[in-house]
Amino acid sequence: MNKTIRALMGATALCATAGIATAQDNVTLTVATVNNGDMIRMQGMTDDFSSSHPNVSVEWVTLEENILRERVTTDIATQGGQYDVLTIGTYEVPIWAEQGWLVALDDLPEDYDVDDLLPAVREALSVDGTLYAAPFYGESAMVMYRTDLAEAAGVTMPDSPTWTDIKGAAEAMTDKENEVYGICLRGKPGWGENMGFITAMANSYGARWFDMDWNPQFDSEEWKATLADYLELMTNYGPPGASSNGFNENLSLFQQGKCGMWIDATVAAGFVTDPENSTVADSVGFAKFPNREGVDNHGNWLWAWSLAIPASSQKQDAAKQFIAWATSKGYTELVAGKEGWRAAPPGTRTSLYENADYLAEAPFAEMTLSAMNAANPQKGSVQDIPYTGGQFVAIPEFQGIGTAVGQQFSAALAGQMSADDALAAAQSTTTREMTRSGYIQ
């Protein structure tokens, strides 16, 4: 995030006095969303919304994750008004709501059944008990692995593996001559791309971003071990060009049979087990996010890609109607009817995990719910910390800091700098920004 936007993020709340469209014909909503599979699927379902809302049309702005975050942050912080519905996550919602930048979703239709939302997800998207975004899908993180490759390599994957188990399995399953790589992990720089994963990994190693006085901790033994093992795994057993791979790139690699393991968001499970798009759909196993021996932390994160309305939108009534449709039980049933229950957006509603049809078709359902329930975003590290967040630090400055650190770690993965130099640069950059922002006195 540039300096102007960072200053705006920390400034006095913007005035939320935008007008609300009421009972007008031919409303066109501009929806900004990420190019993930579930959102692409939603666009294909829009005719269902249009049939019941003939006066509301939808224009999509579909962007890669890092670009989406940059553009919606700039727009909302400057009250630009380009978008009527935003796709944002559990990091942005409470920060932006407290700034007055989001419209409260406290008047959704009764049949929407707000009480059916998973309690942890609903709490993460609320401020003082008021919902400010509706979850489209929720997730934690886990190991996805090729059971056929594991069997052929003589590997038994524990339900709760350590990073030592992961390293051994990655080595055993790697066959570079046939373009099969033992492990695929995020390398693309970004606070929500490689740093989402690496922060979770660091938590599982016992690391923390800051001590109780907001001093960065990249010079700690835990961070050194995290980055060293991450780079060793990816250098020895990962695919070429990994520093450019994010969630979608690794999903494609896994579906093509090129990854022995992939450790990432639980939402991916529905796509790697999709027989129409995954060549390995019938050979996928699941395990908990790993931990370092002796550290009681599996790096579970809690995230929800959610739909929210910026206060600058002039079409708030129509936007609420769209959000109520896209995140409803009815939408889940629509997807299930067209593509099967396995494809239903996961991780948002209690009723989905009580649905026998879903549980029968989605072998990953119970592990997804277990991982989400085990996540503790109030205390992501085993050490004392002054912040909340699992795979992120819930302060406005984290977007800029996390992205800068992600660039340094991605450069180390690309061989452009050493691990020690990347950690030293992360320590220096973060210390400077935290001092400038007033956290470090």
Whether residue 169 is found in the same domain as residue 313: no
Whether residue 269 is found in the same domain as residue 195: yes
Report if residue 441 sits inside a domain: no
Question: How many independent structural domains does the chain possess?
Answer: 2
CATH number at residue 423: 3.40.190.10
Tell me how far apart the alpha carbons of residues 117 and 305 are, in angstroms, rounded to a whole number.
14
Question: Which ranges of 78-118 would DSSP assign to H, the alpha helix?
Answer: 92-98
Whether residue 267 is found in the same domain as residue 340: no
Tell me how far apart the alpha carbons of residues 366 and 208 are, in angstroms, rounded to a whole number.
29
Report if residue 369 sits inside a domain: no
What pLDDT score was predicted for residue 10?
Answer: 39
What pLDDT score was predicted for residue 17?
Answer: 26
The token duo for 50 is 């249009």
| 3 pLDDT more than 70 | no
Whether residue 10 is found in the same domain as residue 69: yes
Report if residue 145 sits inside a domain: yes
Report if residue 202 sits inside a domain: yes
Confidence bin at 44 (pLDDT 50/70/90): very high
The token duo for 349 is 């509603």
Per-residue pLDDT tens over the stretch 340-397: 999 999 999 999 999 999 999 999 999 999 999 999 999 999 999 999 999 999 999 9
Return all residues near 426 (Cβ < 8 A) that are at least 6 apart.
216, 218, 404, 405, 408, 409
Amino acid at 232: E
Q: Which range marks the domain in which residue 263 is found? A: 141-299+377-436
The token duo for 41 is 């699927």
Report if residue 367 sits inside a domain: no
In order, the DSSP letters of 42-70 are: HHHTHHHHHHH-TTEEEEEEEE-HHHHHH
Per-residue pLDDT tens over the stretch 72-119: 999 999 999 999 999 999 999 999 999 999 999 999 999 999 999 999
In order, the DSSP letters of 248-313 are: HHHHHHHHTT-BSEEEEEGGGHHHHT-TTT-TTTTSEEEEEPPB-TT--------EEEEEE-BTT-
What pLDDT score was predicted for residue 309?
Answer: 98
Query: Which residue in 86, 89, 163 sits closest to 125, CA to CA?
Result: 89
SS3 231: helix
Tell me how far apart the alpha carbons of residues 192 and 190 are, in angstroms, rounded to a whole number.
5
Whether residue 133 is found in the same domain as residue 173: no
Q: Mean pLDDT, to the nearest integer, of 208-226? A: 98
What pLDDT score was predicted for residue 184?
Answer: 98
